[in-house]
């Protein structure tokens, strides 16, 4: 799983989230930073309204939380989602002595992004791609 800090950087760089079953997220409040939620039709559902997406909490009385707007959440994309978001820029994932390295190509230039975990390396590569498209 990617770090909260990297998830925030990705969001701030323009990564948008359409909630789907199996997605993990945090409520973007300091007091709930340690809590990770997973969307499931049985417990947390994404409700689409003209005013935006709201995540409804079904049967979570211990939290006394009925719903939260998607803008108040922080998506924690999975490794497969990060790889898919890299699209044609992705070249390969390498195992290194220290962890993992993702190799991408942006503007015909090969870039390497390394981290101790594969998801974090994918996230760093996606961040570079998003920042390039914003420039």
**Three-class SS of the chain:** CCCHHHHHHHHHCCCCCCCCCCCEEEECCHHHCCCCEECECCCEEEEEECCEEEEEECCCCCCCCCEEEHHHEEECCCHHHHHHHHHHHEEEEEECCCCEEEEEEECCEEEEEEECCHHHHHHHHHHHHHHHHHC
pLDDT (0 to 100) of residue 34? 83
From the first residue on, what is the mean pLDDT of each consecutive set of 10 residues in the chain (135 residues)? 95 94 89 83 79 77 65 95 97 98 96 98 98 81
CA–CA dist 53, 1 (Å, integer): 24
pLDDT (0 to 100) of residue 102? 98
pLDDT (0 to 100) of residue 10? 98
pLDDT (0 to 100) of residue 46? 83
């Amino acid at each position: 799983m990617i770090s909260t800090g990297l998830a925030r950087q990705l969001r701030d760089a323009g990564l948008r989230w359409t909630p789907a079953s199996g997605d993990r997220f945090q409520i973007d409040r300091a007091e709930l930073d340690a809590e990770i939620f997973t969307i499931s039709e049985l417990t947390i559902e994404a409700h689409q309204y003209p005013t935006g997406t709201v995540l409804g909490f079904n049967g979570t009385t211990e939290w006394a939380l009925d719903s939260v707007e998607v803008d108040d959440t922080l998506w924690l994309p999975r490794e497969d989602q990060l790889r898919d978001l890299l699209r044609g820029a992705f070249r390969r994932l390498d195992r290194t002595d220290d962890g993992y390295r993702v190799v991408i190509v942006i503007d015909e230039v090969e870039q390497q992004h390394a981290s101790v975990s594969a998801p974090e390396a994918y996230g760093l590569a996606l961040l570079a791609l998003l920042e390039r498209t914003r420039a």
